[in-house]
Amino acid sequence: MSERREYTGDYPEKTLYVPGPTEVREDVIEAMCEPMFGHRMDRMTDLYTTIVEDTKEFLDTDNNVIILTGSGTEFMESSLLNLVDEDVLVTTCGSFSERQANVAERLGKNVDTLEYEWGRAVKPGDVRERLEESDTDYDAVTCVMNESSTGVRNPIEEIGDVVAEYPDTYFVVDAVSALGGDYVNIDEHDIDVIFTSVQKAFAMPPGLAVCVVSDEAYERELGKDSASWYGGFQRSLDYYDRKGQTHSTPAISVMLAYRKQMKYMLEEGHAARDQRHLEMAEYTREWAREHFAMFPEAGYESQTVACIENTQGIDVAETIAAVDEQYDFVFSNGYGSQLGEKTFRIGHMGEHDLESIKTLTSAIENVTGL
Ligand SMILES: Cc1ncc(COP(=O)(O)O)c(C=O)c1O
């Protein structure tokens, strides 16, 4: 049982290198400090249509964009409710993809899994084989683009191309911790649903989730009585069409921050943003290989989260605490009890750049005496 602990407001400022929430620009935080306005006012239409259309432009997609108050898990649940009548094939290779399977089971769906050991990546050939050999006509195949628990970047582009050969099977991608820092051509690879949370590579304060939905996925939901109310594609997109607003009261202040940050993202552009993230990822991998080893299967390392295998047997918890205390930098241990001390993770996403990542790695070197 947790006991009440007073929030004092008196905490040292930390630089976040965790895989989200990540650093947010000061003026983006400040953008939230406007007097409140009503979610049915014209001003709200200005705000919501701006952030929706800017997001389409940034992600370079003609598909529909929904931005709702909540976290990415909202769309993990609602996409399954909206698209799956009976059978879903969930590819699993870490904690978040296993969550996707668990969510589908709780919703009463028939869940088949294509399972990989943590640290391995999902292979398009295996997905093809499963779809070819199975007697089941799956309503959807799911995949996590960036397994934040293991630092694996799954080849969702190739998997999307495989699933596209099955027109009645929809492809659902959890891109939390990737979108905004790792470019994917959503339309070209027939990704029906792809969602993220804004506190990751979008570098915004938490509170909103973004979902990109194909016309086919929208159509598919229309005939379903069991579709989600809150995360329903139809309700959200029809409301947008008619009013340019959300169906229920959104986190207006966070949307103000979103507007500000999305302008910066558009200024940088997705190609430059992708390149910056690649540079951070390559540097971190090189550093990790020099001192430790990378945990993910070679060739499938994430562009936004480095999961580093603790080959030196350092005390991960102690190192994190020392770096925190001496430098006010916060990075992450491995995910859960399985990887807690065996790995550690560095989130190189959002507002970070090569210099800020180098500052962290030298702090780790100093503390551990590497
Ligand atoms: C890959 C992935 N999926 C889903 C989630 C859950 O996101 P949220 O906490 O925004 O619901 C996370 C969070 O870290 C994640 O990394």
Domain locations in the chain? 15-22+270-368, 27-266
State which fold the 27-266 domain adopts. Answer: Aspartate Aminotransferase; domain 2 (3.40.640)
Tokens of 233: 């594609």
Q: How wide is the angle at C-alpha 214 spanned by C-alphas 210 and 216, nearest 5°? A: 145
15-22+270-368 placed in CATH 3.90.1150.10: yes
The model's pLDDT over 84-140, given as tens digits with 9 standing for 90+, comes to 999 999 999 999 999 999 999 999 999 999 999 999 999 999 999 999 999 999 999
Instruction: Check whether 264 has a pLDDT greater than 90.
Output: yes
Q: Which atom of ligand 1 is nearest to the CA of 73?
A: 11
Instruction: Check whether 276 has a pLDDT greater than 90.
Output: yes
Instruction: Check whether 338 has a pLDDT greater than 90.
Output: no
Q: Which of 176, 202, 304 to mutate to test the pocket of ligand 1 (most atoms within 8 A of CB)?
A: 176
CA distance 186 to 179: 11
CA distance 69 to 210: 9
Instruction: Check whether 225 has a pLDDT greater than 90.
Output: no
**Amino acid letter, residue 72:** G
Q: Are 139 and 169 in contact (CB under 8 A)?
A: yes
Q: How wide is the angle at C-alpha 197 spanned by C-alphas 196 and 201, nearest 5°? A: 85
**Amino acid letter, residue 283:** Y
Look at the alpha carbons of 272, 21, 240, 144 in this order and tell me if their dihedral is positive or negative.
positive
Indicate whether residue 71 lines ligand 1 (CB < 6 A): yes
Sheet of 193-197: strands edge to edge? 64-69, 208-213, 193-197, 170-174, 140-144, 87-92, 110-115
- How high is the mean pLDDT of the chain? 97
Q: Which of 71, 193, 230 to mutate to test the pocket of ligand 1 (most atoms within 8 A of CB)?
A: 71
Strand, helix or coil at 61? coil
Q: Are 308 and 212 in contact (CB under 8 A)?
A: no
Q: Which residues pair with 67 in a beta bridge?
A: 210
Strand, helix or coil at 175? coil
pTM of this prediction?
Answer: 0.98
Number of DSSP helices (H) and strands (E) in the chain, helices first = 13, 15
CA distance 370 to 366: 7
